[in-house]
Structure 1
Amino acid sequence: MVNKKNTKQRAKSSSKFVFWMIGLVAVCLLAFIFISNMNDKPETAKTKTNEIDYANQPYLGEKSAPVSIVEFGDYKCPSCKDFAENVVPMIQKELIDTGKAKFYFMNDSFINVDSKRSAQFAEAVFQELGNDTFWKFHELLYKKQPDPKYEKTDVFTEQFLIDTLKEVASEQETARAVKNFKAKKSMNAWKKDMDYVDKLGVTGTPTLFINGKMFTGKTIDDLKDMVEKAAKEK
């Protein structure tokens, strides 16, 4: 997890912030360790159940799924890149594809101006081109994250974002999203996410919430247990 304090220092040592421990019994064993910075959060932030408005938010899974998982992330965050590429597929297999949960993404754009620009552009993509294209763009943006230039600005430029979108959308579709972005139509959606960052006490990325309650566990089993408990509480 990347914490908002000492961002540059944490970015350079992001390999220490490996997110999960997942065991797969097969020929190989995959492990991802989640070291969370939850100890410095107030107890109320850890235990409180919050009301979250999921309307008009990008998601994976079926709307009928009983549990809602929300990730708060930043497109310039290297830990979020690792999470998107290595952990979300596990969540997809274990919880989303099984119909146990749906998975939402909300922005916590705190690192630099590139974070805000890319988040607002992604919101424009969602508004104009829909959920499926949003996720294709979302995944590609993390894949193309220039890790060595993490702390520098003007990497995720407007042209970079346009060129990236063109890899998953047509010229006409891209033009629609760009028009939305330039007109700042996606600004309110981005501000809604950032308001939740403050309201929910999010202090680092990635941070997860399960049916409005902050996830403070360390393993995929912890997450599955929390999802199962949340489903029973419905």
Structure 2
Amino acid sequence: MAKVTPKKKSNTGFIAVVVVVLAAGGAGLWATMQNKPAPIELPSGAPAMKAEGYLRGNPNAPVSIIEFADFECPGCGQFATLQGPDIKQRLVDAGLANFRFYDFPLTQIHQNTLFAHLSAACANDQGKFWEMHDQLFAGQPDWSTQATGNPRKLIDGYAAAIGLDMAAYGTCMDSQKHLAQIQANQAEGNTRGVNSTPTIIVGNKVYPGGLTFDELKKVVDSLAAAPAVAPAVAPAADSAKK
């Protein structure tokens, strides 16, 4: 883009614009500075939900890896595209760990992210959460807030590409069927003290910003090698006297 040299003029108009912007979006700006997600509005009367997340791998694997992530977060996209394949192949498929993804949409700075989280949840109804997960992160630069004000056409294209029943998917999206579940997953992150994305939790350790695969592998190996704590054994009862 060609660079235009602005003419000198009074900055009174600029100051007025800044004042209007701050007045209109001050609360959102403060939330952004605090790295806290804006609350998701639910329909009145929506039932309370329990956080579940989306599991990849054996639920009984010796180690569990948890991620709280925002589909529009660039760091989350980098973690998914760079670390994700190794995590799946060398940890999850190898039976060393399972992996659970929790929604943590930062809606005050990523205006399109909630649509993406809803689409992944609707894909999950058809057993294809992880396929949609991968599509969303791979295409993030195309559907993000910086790229478009209407991400639906692109994201619906991902749904078709992974073979979803588009009628069922469309009904799910139009009704915002999984909005309460997304909020429950986000609330779980708030309870755990998550305030940035991606945040990885393994065992009792929290890693804001994620980990490289090598770092994560060391953590998993250390937990897998830790000796199991034997359950307390109750003392044997005295034999009955004859």
Shorter-chain TM range is 0.5 to 0.7
Distance 1:182 1:63 in 2: 32
Aligned residues with identical type, % of pairs: 26
Deviation at 1:202, TM superposition (A): 1.3
1:91 aligns with 2:91: no
Distance 1:66 1:115 in 2: 32
Deviation at 1:224, TM superposition (A): 2.5
Of 113, 125, 145, which residue of structure 1 is paired with 2:140?
A: 145
Aligned partner of residue 146 in structure 2, secondary structure:
coil
Distance 2:175 2:132 in 1: 20
In structure 2, the CA distance between the partners of 1:135 and 1:219, relative to structure 1 (3 Å rule), is closer
1:166 aligns with 2:160: yes
Distance 2:191 2:160 in 1: 35
Q: TM-score, normalised by structure 2?
A: 0.64
Identify the residue that residue 113 of structure 1 maps to in structure 2. Answer: 111
Identify the residue that residue 227 of structure 1 maps to in structure 2. Answer: 220
Identify the residue that residue 134 of structure 1 maps to in structure 2. Answer: 129
Deviation at 1:166, TM superposition (A): 0.6
Deviation at 1:151, TM superposition (A): 4.9
The aligned length equals 180
Deviations 1:105-151 (A, max 9, x none): 1111103220111112211221x211xx111111011111126x855
In structure 2, the CA distance between the partners of 1:129 and 1:108, relative to structure 1 (3 Å rule), is same
Unaligned runs of 5+ in 1: 8-52
Partner amino acid, structure 2, of 1:112 = H
Unaligned runs of 5+ in 2: 1-31, 36-49, 230-242
Where does 1:16-55 land on structure 2 (aligned, <5 Å)? 55=52
Asked if 2 retains the 8 angstrom alpha-carbon contact of 1:117 and 1:156, the reply is no
1:207 aligns with 2:199: yes
In structure 2, the CA distance between the partners of 1:211 and 1:224, relative to structure 1 (3 Å rule), is same
Asked if 1 retains the 8 angstrom alpha-carbon contact of 2:141 and 2:147, the reply is no
Asked if 2 retains the 8 angstrom alpha-carbon contact of 1:58 and 1:105, the reply is yes
Asked which structure has the greater RCO (Cα within 8 Å, sep 6+), the reply is 1
Partner amino acid, structure 2, of 1:122 = A
Asked if 1 retains the 8 angstrom alpha-carbon contact of 2:51 and 2:181, the reply is no
Identify the residue that residue 176 of structure 1 maps to in structure 2. Answer: 168
Deviation at 1:6, TM superposition (A): 8.3
Asked if 2 retains the 8 angstrom alpha-carbon contact of 1:74 and 1:107, the reply is yes
Larger Rg: 2
RMSD across aligned positions (CA): 2.8
Aligned partner of residue 113 in structure 1, secondary structure:
coil
In structure 2, the CA distance between the partners of 1:82 and 1:219, relative to structure 1 (3 Å rule), is closer
Deviation at 1:58, TM superposition (A): 1.9
Distance 1:184 1:125 in 2: 13
Partner amino acid, structure 2, of 1:168 = I
Aligned partner of residue 64 in structure 2, secondary structure:
strand
Deviation at 1:69, TM superposition (A): 0.7
Aligned partner of residue 204 in structure 1, secondary structure:
coil
In structure 2, the CA distance between the partners of 1:98 and 1:160, relative to structure 1 (3 Å rule), is same
Deviation at 1:221, TM superposition (A): 4.0
Deviation at 1:201, TM superposition (A): 1.4
In structure 2, the CA distance between the partners of 1:150 and 1:121, relative to structure 1 (3 Å rule), is closer
Asked if 2 retains the 8 angstrom alpha-carbon contact of 1:118 and 1:156, the reply is no
